[in-house]
Structure 1
Amino acid sequence: MFSTDRQTHRQIFLEAWRKANAQEPLEPLESQLVELMRRHPEYLPFLEDGERALDQDFPPELGQTNPFLHLGLHLAILEQLSIDQPRGIRDSYQRLLARLGDPHQVEHAIMECLAESIWRVQHHRLPFDEVGYLDCIARLERQG
């Protein structure tokens, strides 16, 4: 799944969507991806566009969300929850879920913290700050 080549990475998403539409058997990861895609119908026309999607850029100044990044962050959060890594994220998720009531909304809230943490890694060239990430999520838990 994980590749440093943007087109290879994107092709995995597109192939999972193609297989789902063709009712072909899906690998477990592909099933997860398809479920995430279905929770974001606004991305489906783009994903169905296939080849154009492989090369499209999403500059922040245009205000367009990168569907591959967004879906990839969802997938990262689901993986973190499945292994409780960083330790404690599963409990934080459950507390947020009790407050917000919608798993997708909780993932989006956590996604903001994850995106901020990744941005810091990229721009400051420091290791991922698990404590800072969990602190950000804890602040979400305290918001009313």
Structure 2
Amino acid sequence: MFGHNRDNLRRFYYTVWRKQQHSEPLEPLEQLVAEVIAAHPEYHPVMMGEERHLERDYLPDLGDENPFLHMGMHIALKEQVATDRPAGIGTVYRRLVLGIGDPHAVEHRMMDCLGEVLWRAQQDGSAPDEIAYLECLERLNAR
């Protein structure tokens, strides 16, 4: 969406949240982002503190959870399901929702697979392995 410019991406989140809070019209992507932010009240203080959080580094080794990464993964999953890319993810998602009953909880489980595949691709310097990704998601159905 914004290449590798972290600050521009974060500013987009802040702009969307401000527009949402002021009942301003939103473009479709902005609406999706606003819905994801709204579903995460634990991040609302971050969204209200742009000057404190825009340039903050979140260090997982110190137990920091990056709210922008977390919400970005929700957005990525929603877009994957909506476009059925990789092919079959929509079916897997619907089966998981039927079994678990909570779409948000399903996305959290799916994030583990997405994160693993993205991490592995980064380590290998390759594209994400869609087959491994779908296999991981299928294993979620077995749980």
- Pair in the same fold by TM > 0.5: yes
Give the superposition deviation at 1:3.
2.4
Give the residue type in structure 2 aligned to 1:10: R
Give the superposition deviation at 1:51.
2.1
Taking structure 2 as the reference length, the TM-score comes to 0.97
What fraction of aligned residue pairs are identical, expressed as a percent? Answer: 45
Unaligned 5+ runs, structure 2: none
Q: Given the alignment of the two structures, is residue 120 of structure 1 paired with residue 123 of structure 2, yes or no?
A: no
The CA RMSD over aligned residues, in Å, is: 0.9
Give the residue type in structure 2 aligned to 1:124: D
Number of aligned residue pairs: 143
Give the residue type in structure 2 aligned to 1:110: M
Residue 41 of structure 2 is matched in structure 1 by 41
Give the superposition deviation at 1:2.
2.9
For the residue of structure 1 that corresponds to 2:64, the secondary structure is: coil
Residue 26 of structure 2 is matched in structure 1 by 26
Unaligned 5+ runs, structure 1: none
Residue 57 of structure 1 is matched in structure 2 by 57
Matches of 1:127 and 1:19, distance apart in 2:
35
Q: Given the alignment of the two structures, is residue 95 of structure 1 paired with residue 84 of structure 2, yes or no?
A: no
Matches of 2:39 and 2:65, distance apart in 1:
15
Which 4+ runs in 1 deviate beyond 2 A?
none
1:72-122 alpha-carbon deviations (Å, 9 max, x no partner): 000000110111000000010011111100000111111110011111111
